[in-house]
Structure 1
Amino acid sequence: MAEPEFDPTPAPLRPPVVFDQQWCNVSFLHWPVQPAAIAGLFPAGCRPDTVAGLSYLGLVPFQLRGIALGRGGAIPYFGSFAETNVRLYSVDDAGRHGVVFCSLDTARLAVVPIARLLFGVPYNWARMQVSQPAPDRWHYRSRRRWPGRGPACTLTVRVGRPVRPTPLEEWLTARWGLHARIGGRTRWVPNSHQPWPLHEAEVLELREDVIAAAGLPPSGDRLRALWSPGVRARFGRPVRLD
């Protein structure tokens, strides 16, 4: 397979910092997808990012901790809570490699209207749980509650040894922003964080219909699963594409 050509380091984040948060106990699952099958899901000004003619979809459950506005202290109400996102990989004419969220389920109802308004992402309220049933295992469970009931995801992984990501895995995880429609225009929302510390992961259980609910058709076998203890991430001010 041809190796992706991109810079795996983030551009300096221009002030001000809008959000500061930690992404913890993250699992990454990916499948190939045909770019033509997903092209209609991207906002104007960006398109499916590809390697050797294929794009990818990701299923990424994790815990979010320590949300802070700007460089202030963490907001007490939010604490630690679970999220699961279904995402695609995007690039724009300026060469910025990002993600487009097809769905993002969260256990905090208050996050839903705020994130939909500020970041234009399709947040949903869900009943969620993240647990560690054994030292080397992580279990994620979610079922959507609002604005549409039903789609669910259950995942259990066994965490293995630390690994150096392949060029494709680095391309999938080293994403420094998102593309979204905010206020009727496509915007780039930049973020910055340290490189992911990654471990190999074995999928012990996977039952989900959130990918089908997003209208995404995988076109091949799932890639190697990965897990990370997490990183601290900062988000900058959205930038207009048009």
Structure 2
Amino acid sequence: MTDAVRDRAAVPLLHRPVAVHAWEDVVFAHWRRDPASLARLVPRGTRPDVVDGSAWVGLTAYVFRQTAIPPFPPSRRLGSMTEVTIEVPTIDTRGRRGIVYRTVDTGHVPAIVAANTLLGVPYTFAHVRASRRGDTLDHRSVRHPARAAHPVRWVRDVLRTRQPRTPRPRYDAVVRVTAGDVVDSPLAVDLTTRAGIHARHLAQTLFWQRQHAPLTIRSARLERLEGDLPAAVGVPGLFDHEPDSLLVVDGTTVRYAWGEVVR
């Protein structure tokens, strides 16, 4: 089973890549959930993927060191940013195993505009940063109180009224882990290796294919976890207990391409 899952993200892209990203210092934290409790959080044509007897909610945090938009060469300036996500592993009616992002928090405004407008991926403005000392990785995200709900609408309202909108709750997330030994369990591979992204866009469910080499996955020990970001995206209380799976990937290169309309 592990070999088949590991090869999932190595399937040749059906179309030319639209973006290529170098990821570093990736943290995967996952919690078990009942599938029925997550059904309302995923788009039509998909359902929560059951892995090892459970559906899952994940927090993933990582650093982009460079981005390429083919046919142009890679650029560190274009793609250097940190992202913190809350996501649900999914499976669609054709059996493709992907993820649904409930949010992708980042401070990279061009990425926010492009992802929301073109891809249907809910990027949200936040002050996000990452650091690493040896094997200890630290990721933090704090949403700006006024801009968090919708960055484009916030700018529009400021231009119209010359005053910012009423501040909203300030959602945040902090995760610090220390990476350990390499692991190769079926569960670890299945939670970290997904074939693409399922996204809602213009009343449709889209599938964006994702490709990367087999990952070298490491176990991790939790040092700190706090914040209320999950409450902003429909999974309150997620950080009330430690993750059921906690993993680290030091780095990989990820290629994205158009898949198709699911529904």
**What TM-score does the superposition give when structure 2 sets the normalisation length?**
0.84
The change in CA–CA distance for 1:215 and 1:65 in structure 2 (over 3 A counts) is: same
Unmatched 5+ residue regions in structure 2?
150-167
- Report the equivalent of 1:231: 252
- Report the equivalent of 2:157: none
Looking at structure 2, the residues matched to 76 and 26 of structure 1 have their Cα atoms a distance apart, in angstroms, of: 18
- Report deviation, 1:226: 1.0
The answer as to 2:152 corresponding to 1:153 is no
Q: Which has the larger radius of gyration?
A: 2
The change in CA–CA distance for 1:52 and 1:138 in structure 2 (over 3 A counts) is: closer
The answer as to 2:178 corresponding to 1:178 is no
CA contact under 8 A between 1:17 and 1:71: conserved in structure 2?
Answer: no
The change in CA–CA distance for 1:71 and 1:16 in structure 2 (over 3 A counts) is: same
The change in CA–CA distance for 1:220 and 1:50 in structure 2 (over 3 A counts) is: farther
- Report deviation, 1:77: 3.7
Looking at structure 1, the residues matched to 213 and 104 of structure 2 have their Cα atoms a distance apart, in angstroms, of: 23
Match of 1:8 among 6, 9, 14: 6
CA contact under 8 A between 1:26 and 1:60: conserved in structure 2?
Answer: yes
Instruction: Please give the per-residue CA displacement for 1:164-198, whole angstroms capped at 9, x wherever unaligned.
Output: 2x211211111010111123211110010011111
- Report the equivalent of 1:137: 136
Looking at structure 2, the residues matched to 21 and 71 of structure 1 have their Cα atoms a distance apart, in angstroms, of: 14
Three-state SS of the structure 1 residue aligned to 2:231 is helix
Looking at structure 2, the residues matched to 156 and 221 of structure 1 have their Cα atoms a distance apart, in angstroms, of: 12
- Report deviation, 1:209: 1.1
Three-state SS of the structure 1 residue aligned to 2:125 is strand
Q: What are the equivalent positions in structure 2 for 1:187-198 lying under 5 Å apart?
A: 187-198=206-217
Looking at structure 2, the residues matched to 6 and 240 of structure 1 have their Cα atoms a distance apart, in angstroms, of: 25
Instruction: Please give the per-residue CA displacement for 1:128-156, whole angstroms capped at 9, x wherever unaligned.
Output: 11112x31211111101223351101111
Q: What are the equivalent positions in structure 2 for 1:89-128 lying under 5 Å apart?
A: 89-128=89-128
Instruction: Please give the per-residue CA displacement for 1:24-80, whole angstroms capped at 9, x wherever unaligned.
Output: 100111100111111011111111111354200000111012111124212454242
CA contact under 8 A between 1:32 and 1:220: conserved in structure 2?
Answer: no
Count of matched residue positions in the alignment of Structure 1 and Structure 2: 238
Q: Which runs of 4+ in 1 moved over 6 A?
A: 3-6
Unmatched 5+ residue regions in structure 1?
none
Higher helix share: 2
Looking at structure 1, the residues matched to 242 and 140 of structure 2 have their Cα atoms a distance apart, in angstroms, of: 22
The change in CA–CA distance for 1:210 and 1:6 in structure 2 (over 3 A counts) is: farther
- Report deviation, 1:211: 1.5
- Report the equivalent of 1:54: 54
Looking at structure 2, the residues matched to 221 and 139 of structure 1 have their Cα atoms a distance apart, in angstroms, of: 16
CA contact under 8 A between 1:32 and 1:221: conserved in structure 2?
Answer: no
Higher strand share: 1
CA contact under 8 A between 2:217 and 2:249: conserved in structure 1?
Answer: yes
The percentage of aligned residue pairs carrying the same residue is: 30
- CA-based RMSD of the aligned residues comes to 2.1
**What TM-score does the superposition give when structure 1 sets the normalisation length?**
0.91
